[in-house]
Amino acid sequence: MTETEKYLFDVHGYLVIKGALSAEEVAAANAAIDHHAAKIQIRPNDLAHGSKTLEGKTGRGDLGGILTWEKPHCEVFRQMVVHPNITPYLEELLGPGFRLEGLGIITMEKGAEGFWFHEGGTPYDRSRFYHYHNGRMYCGMTNVAVQLTDVGPGEGGFACLPGSHKANYACPGEIRLYEAHQECFAQIPAKAGDAILFAECLMHGALPWEGKHQRRSVINRYNSGVVAEGLMGTYTQPPFYAELTEAQQAVISAPRYRHEFAKDEEVRTTIAARAKG
């Protein structure tokens, strides 16, 4: 991350990575979704939580299992989990050895309801947090929302309350329901291929979709290599594990401790100096 990107993420809790995917990758992902469109599950209107400002005529669409799809349709999504244009940001926030917690596709047709605003720094959660220490940012769960269709200003979709990842007070319910202080929220425009990187503890949700085209976003959820939210008992590799590259296998793995001190140049220099002395 550049110094500007670090500043913006620290202040806002999110960052737009422009052009994270190539036009060819976007086309391949959309073709794969088109091929599996019959599997999209339309949710009941259950995400607005009764908010009159977030309600819609229909629910959003959810599409999972994308890593298990037949080739070539799975390949672009497998590449996406350790994409070279995204991985450096995750290593900065989560450290080497970060893990994939889960992923899926969200679709929204015109008139689809929004999603009430959740998270927000309080109460403190050890699996999803944000803090700064000794010149570096540290995050718990961190998400990457890869946009597969354009999102214009005012069209809806992903939105957040910038800076709320560092909140110290509980958020009033009317703000979470987008019924008060709407001017404080940011709806994030993005082009197809852009990725929105955000801390899970940032208060986020979605505004009702007003675009004439279908909204399509791939949501990849990551955590530190030593943290897992959904693991219970013995870890079992997925059936497609052997088909993955080493980098992809490393992300889809059991939590594990990795000693990182040797990556610190100052420590290496000190050890080398002492060895000579």
Average pLDDT, the chain: 93
Asked whether the beta carbons of 200 and 47 are under 8 A apart, the reply is no
**Residue-number span of the structural domain to which 67 is assigned:** 3-276
Decide: helix, strand or coil at residue 250: helix
Predicted TM-score of the model (pTM): 0.90
- Give the closest residue to 103 by CA, choosing from 220, 227, 217: 220
Q: Which of 104, 99, 185, 176 is nearest to 142 (CA)?
A: 99
Q: Residues 6 or more apart from 265 whose CB is under 8 A from it?
A: none
Q: Average pLDDT for residues 136-160, to the nearest whole number?
A: 97
CATH number for 269? 2.60.120.620
Total of domains in the chain:
1
Of 103, 112, 85, 78, the residue nearest 205 (C-alpha): 112
pLDDT at 255 over 70: yes
Q: Is pLDDT larger for residue 223 or for residue 268? A: 223
**Residue-wise DSSP of 195-211:** EEEEETTS-EEEEPP--
Q: Cβ distance 203 to 160 under 8 Å? A: yes
